[in-house]
Amino acid sequence: MKTLRVVPLGGLGEVGMNCLALETDEDLLVIDCGITFPEDNYGVDLLHPDFSYLLERAEKVRGVFLTHGHEDHIGALPFLLSRLNVPVWGPAHALKLALRRVRDRVGDERALKVDFRPVLPRQRYSIGSFQVEPVRVSHSIIEATALFVQTPAGSVLHSGDFKFDPCPPDGEPTDEERLLELGAAGVDLLLSDSTNVDNRSPAGSESGVADTLEELICGARERVVVGLFSSNVQRLISLGQIAKKAGRRIALLGRSLRTHVDTAHDLGHLAWNLEHRLSSEELATCPRNNTLVLAGGTQAEAGSALSRLAEAAHPVLQLDPGDRVILSSRVIPGNDRRVSRMLSDLLRLNVDLHSHLTDRDVHTSGHANWLELRHMIELVRPRCFIPVHGARHHLHNHARLAQECGVPQVLVIENGQVAGLREGSLERQGRVHSGRIFIDLGSEPLSGEVLRQRAVLGQRGIAELHVVLDNDGRLRTSPLLSTWGVATLDEDGAKLELTRETEKLLQSQSKIWLRRGRDMADELEKFLGWRFERLIGRRPHISVRISRV
């Protein structure tokens, strides 16, 4: 009996950046290839998994299979495909979004050479020694799927991101019938999304959110602005229907939002036509009570549509007192302060503000809660279980749930930790190299040393000393000391005092340093470091430049 290696390269032990490899001796299949975003602002645009493990086994990699089109599942594809020429399978919607990402990265000509292969639920696809069947699941994005994978070492069901919404706006609920059939036939290993395991509240539905939004939009007398996650096509479908009922035309603010609307429209998932859409020019003249503005930037991202509206700095639209603003979203952990500031800015504009805090049903998660996760386990009845997609506490709590449900073998692993499936049994198989690659705003990878330097500069500030000497080591002019972000040293008096001290030191010591063969830049850096610590209690990043004339 062969062994299947389950190798997580991203998404286990963290939220986002989902990427997992299923590997036999002959073949390797990658499930999802996502990104995550930085917690600190050091000029980093995004992070993607370290693909070293895949590149070292390039001859075995048979392709990538996407579960759906969210960025944390498709966003890293351009970076992988620039190093590895393999086919990509996935739902048409996910592939269309992925093609846009690849085009943005490598251009149209190279993007058209990528081998994208659309798939349909309940169809089998042969990929090396793997047989893969997508299974429709409901999620906040359309065309989301779980993956049933038959391997030489047993059968695996990867849940993808899912929930059990009985009546989603796209009319495609989770295919419980097929999940039950697969469970009855026997599933050796279930890999299940853990993101929302801590939520034991009743599961909300998109139809319930639509009812709340309809009440708020139809009851408004002035302009309505709805902030939402750009990829939530389920909600976009509902908002289109509500706009028609309320007699309002729709305007879109935000590039990502326009991309998702256009993609969904091209695939026939949105019934909006041009007469329902407002251009930027029309938005300025359309009566406020006939306008429904959809805006991205619910996490108060710098430069986003909602942030600029809140700051009264949007080039297309200025909010007026009495406009109704609805945040149909949640606050992603870590963004709390930023979103709170945006809410305060909106209130200062005297708008009628609604959010999850004031109207609980204005948003619901696209991820299964505790009860739904239990239902998935009961449908599938796996022999073995590995929780995926979540921080360590999510994985831990999901594993406990599986044990409570009577799953015989449960194993928690994180990125780089390998699990082996053999004859219906799980075992740990050590570690492999994994990690994160930081991509800066110029789309280039950043080394660990560059990131460390940026962190130091951000935390301590910069001091630069420029000294001009003649060939005998004598000062030709007074030293020039410049500082950026150094507390109190931005004051001219303190800076002048330190410059004079440095000049006196050079006049007395420069020839001695030269005679003894000491590095003058190093001596000056030591002196300045000592003086900065005496003056302000910390040492900034110090750079010394010496010019000779």
In this predicted structure, what is the pLDDT of residue 484?
Answer: 80
CB atoms within 10 A of CB 372: 20
The answer to whether position 42 is within a domain reads yes
> Which residues are within 8 A (CB) of 207 and not within 5 positions of it... i.e. 6 or more apart?
165, 167, 168, 169
Measure Cα distances from 119 to 125, 147, 277 in Å.
8, 11, 31
Mean pLDDT confidence for 59-63: 97
Residue 231's closest CA among 276, 253, 261?
261
In this predicted structure, what is the pLDDT of residue 41?
Answer: 64
Is residue 361 very low, low, confident or very high in pLDDT (cuts 50, 70, 90)?
very high
The reply to whether 236 and 353 lie within a common domain is yes
Q: Cα(343)–Cα(321) distance, rounded to whole angstroms?
A: 15
User: The tokens of 429 are what?
Assistant: 């198989």
Higher-confidence residue: 214 or 481?
A: 214
Mean pLDDT confidence for 9-36: 96
As for how many domains the chain has, the answer is 3
In this predicted structure, what is the pLDDT of residue 184?
Answer: 97
Is the per-residue pLDDT at 490 higher than 60? no
The reply to whether 80 and 197 lie within a common domain is yes
What 3-state DSSP class applies to 239?
Answer: helix
Is the per-residue pLDDT at 303 higher than 70? yes
Q: Cα(251)–Cα(282) distance, rounded to whole angstroms?
A: 9
The reply to whether 277 and 408 lie within a common domain is no
Cα angle 89, 93, 99 (rounded to 5 degrees) comes to 70
Q: What is the pTM of this model?
A: 0.85
pLDDT digits (tens, 9 = 90+) for 153-208: 999 999 999 999 999 999 999 999 999 999 999 999 999 999 999 999 887 899 99
Is the per-residue pLDDT at 488 higher than 70? no
Q: Cα(456)–Cα(179) distance, rounded to whole angstroms?
A: 51
In this predicted structure, what is the pLDDT of residue 532?
Answer: 83
In this predicted structure, what is the pLDDT of residue 486?
Answer: 79
Is residue 112 very low, low, confident or very high in pLDDT (cuts 50, 70, 90)?
low
In this predicted structure, what is the pLDDT of residue 470?
Answer: 80
Q: Cα(208)–Cα(437) distance, rounded to whole angstroms?
A: 40
In this predicted structure, what is the pLDDT of residue 411?
Answer: 98
CB atoms within 10 A of CB 141: 24
Mean pLDDT confidence for 215-226: 96
Beta pairing partners, 354: 326
Q: Cα(546)–Cα(465) distance, rounded to whole angstroms?
A: 8
Mean pLDDT of the chain: 90
Mean pLDDT confidence for 246-274: 90
Residue with tokens 């319930």: 208
What 3-state DSSP class applies to 253?
Answer: strand
The answer to whether position 448 is within a domain reads no
Q: Cα(42)–Cα(493) distance, rounded to whole angstroms?
A: 31
The reply to whether 436 and 538 lie within a common domain is no
In this predicted structure, what is the pLDDT of residue 137?
Answer: 98
Identify each DSSP E strand in 182-253 by its residue range: 189-193, 224-228, 249-253
Is residue 489 very low, low, confident or very high in pLDDT (cuts 50, 70, 90)?
low
Is residue 109 very low, low, confident or very high in pLDDT (cuts 50, 70, 90)?
low
| Rounded (10°) CA dihedral 252, 253, 255, 258 | -10
The reply to whether 187 and 235 lie within a common domain is no
Residue 482's closest CA among 506, 466, 503, 505?
466
The answer to whether position 98 is within a domain reads yes
CB 172 within 8 A of CB 1: no
In this predicted structure, what is the pLDDT of residue 182?
Answer: 98
User: The tokens of 149 are what?
Assistant: 């994978």
Q: Cα(459)–Cα(453) distance, rounded to whole angstroms?
A: 10
The answer to whether position 523 is within a domain reads yes
Is the per-residue pLDDT at 46 higher than 60? yes
The reply to whether 467 and 517 lie within a common domain is yes
Distance, C-alpha 538 to centroid of its chain: 35
User: The tokens of 332 are what?
Assistant: 């992603």
> Which residues are within 8 A (CB) of 4 and not within 5 positions of it... i.e. 6 or more apart?
22, 23, 24, 151, 152, 153, 154, 156, 189, 420, 421, 422
The answer to whether position 27 is within a domain reads yes
The reply to whether 326 and 434 lie within a common domain is no
pLDDT digits (tens, 9 = 90+) for 524-545: 888 888 888 887 777 888 888 9
Lowest mean pLDDT among 48-57, 76-85, 253-262, 477-486: 477-486
Region class of 441: left (phi > 0), else alpha (psi between -120 and 50), else beta: alpha
Lowest mean pLDDT among 129-133, 437-441, 501-505: 437-441
Q: Which amino acid is at 289?
A: N
* CATH code for the domain in which residue 491 is found: 3.10.20.580
What 3-state DSSP class applies to 426?
Answer: strand
What 3-state DSSP class applies to 126?
Answer: strand
The reply to whether 58 and 195 lie within a common domain is yes
* CATH code for the domain in which residue 313 is found: 3.40.50.10710
Q: Which amino acid is at 545?
A: R
The reply to whether 343 and 369 lie within a common domain is no
The reply to whether 354 and 383 lie within a common domain is no
pLDDT digits (tens, 9 = 90+) for 126-137: 999 999 999 999
The answer to whether position 453 is within a domain reads no
The reply to whether 369 and 249 lie within a common domain is no
Please give the residue range of the domain that contains residue 160: 4-201+365-440
Measure Cα distances from 303 to 171, 275, 432, 445, 486 in Å.
35, 29, 39, 23, 27
3-state secondary structure labels for all residues of 297-361: CCCCCCCCHHHHHHCCCCCCCCCCCCCEEEEECCCCCCCHHHHHHHHHHHHHCCCEEECCCCCHH
* CATH code for the domain in which residue 101 is found: 3.60.15.10
The reply to whether 342 and 434 lie within a common domain is no
pLDDT digits (tens, 9 = 90+) for 397-412: 999 999 999 999 999 9
In this predicted structure, what is the pLDDT of residue 500?
Answer: 86
Cα angle 315, 318, 322 (rounded to 5 degrees) comes to 165
Which residue, of 312, 334, 360, is where some domain finishes?
360
The answer to whether position 449 is within a domain reads no
% of the chain residues with pLDDT over 70: 96
Is the per-residue pLDDT at 271 higher than 70? yes
Which residue, of 360, 392, 425, is where some domain finishes?
360
The answer to whether position 451 is within a domain reads no
Is the per-residue pLDDT at 275 higher than 90? no
Which residue, of 440, 469, 490, is where some domain finishes?
440
Higher-confidence residue: 449 or 263?
A: 263
Is residue 119 very low, low, confident or very high in pLDDT (cuts 50, 70, 90)?
very high
